Amino acid sequence: MVVLVTGGSGYIGSLLIRRLPYVDEFRGYTIRIFDSMASGKYYSLFDLPPEAKYEFILGDIRKEDDLRTALKDTEVLFDLAGITSVPLSFKKREETLEVNVEGVRRLLDIALRAGVERVIYSSSAAVYGNVSGIVNEDHPCNPTSPYAESKLLAEKLYMEKFREAGLKVTILRLGTVYGYSPGMRFDTVVNRFTFLACIGRPLTVWRGAEECMRPYLYVGDAVSAMILAAKRDEMIGHVYNVVTENAKLERVIGTITSLIPEARVEFIEAPYKQQISYGLDSSRICRMGFKPEGSLERGVGEIIEHLKALIPKR
C-alpha cells in the first residue's frame, strides 16, 4: 500500500515523509513523494531514513497523467501541494488559483477513481481574513489574499467530495509555521527574524506591531496533527484549527533576543494604522488528542543550532 505526500519536498512535507515510516499504522507502506520541485528544494530529499521504502514522482498537480501515476495504489493522501506564498499570490493570482484550486479539483477526481480512502488537506488560518480575538472553526471566513481565497475554495471542493462521494476528508487550518525542517522556509516571521539575528542584522519591527497576536505552529506539531488526522476516524468530515501558541510579536522578539543577546531590534513607523491581532482556538483538535510539543523557544533554538556558525563573535 502507498501513502502519498503531495508537496513532499516542502517545509512541512520534508519532515512528514521522515516521520511516517515510524508510525505504526504505516509501517511497511511505500511513502510516495509527489512534487514539481518548483521551489528547487532538492536538498530536502537528502538522507531519507534508509529502512523506509520511498518513491519519488516528479510531476505537476495540474497534469492528469502525472496525477494518475502518483495516485496508483494510494490508500492515504496528505495534500500539501500548492503555491504557499501570500506575496507571490498577489503577483501570480491566476496561477495561484490554477494550482491551488483547479489542481485540487483534478487531484480529487482522479483520487476517487483510484480508490483513495483517506485525505488530509493542509489549509491555512489565512482563510479567516482580517479578524480579531480568538477564532474557532465556526467563525466566518473572509480571505484577503489570492492565496487565502484559493485555500478556502479548495476546502470547499474537499468537503463536497466528502458529502457527495463519501471520501474520508479531514481539513487542517494551520497557524504560521516555524522551526527547523529539511525543507526550510525563511519567509515567515519567526524563521526570518531568527535568521536575521544569526547574521547580525537588525529585526525591523513596525511600531505598534509588537502588541499584535498571531497563531504560531511548530513544524513538528503540524506533522503530528496530520498523522493524528490520518489515524482518527472521528476527525473525518471536519475542519480543525492547529496552533502551538497564540503569541504577540513581542514574545517572538523576546524569545530570539533571549537566545541571541546580541540581536538588535529597530522600530520603524508602520506604513498603515490597521494591524491585525488574532489567535486560533484549537480546542476542537485537542479534544481529539492533539498535544502540542513545540514552543517558540524550541523552534527558534533549533534554527539557531543550525546557523550558529554565522552568529557574529563578540
Please list the active-site residues. 147
Closest CA to 33 of 81, 75, 1, 65: 81
Tell me the pairing of strands 2-6 and 213-218: unpaired
Rounded Cα–Cα distance for residues 129 and 212 (Å):
15
3-state secondary structure of 193: helix
* Rounded alpha-carbon distances, angstroms, from residue 156 to 160, 161, 247: 6, 9, 29
Identify residue 235 by its one-letter amino acid code. Answer: M
N-to-C CA span, the chain: 54
Beta-bridged to residue 214, according to DSSP, are 247
Q: Could you tell me if 232 and 289 are in contact, meaning their C-beta atoms sit under 8 angstroms apart?
A: yes
Written as nine digits, the cell of 284 is 476542537
Closest CA to 230 of 120, 79, 129, 92: 120
Place of cell 457527495: 164
Rounded Cα–Cα distance for residues 96 and 85 (Å):
9
Written as nine digits, the cell of 182 is 529539511
Residues with Cβ within 8 Å of 235's Cβ and at least 6 positions away in sequence, in order, are 170, 228, 229, 285, 288
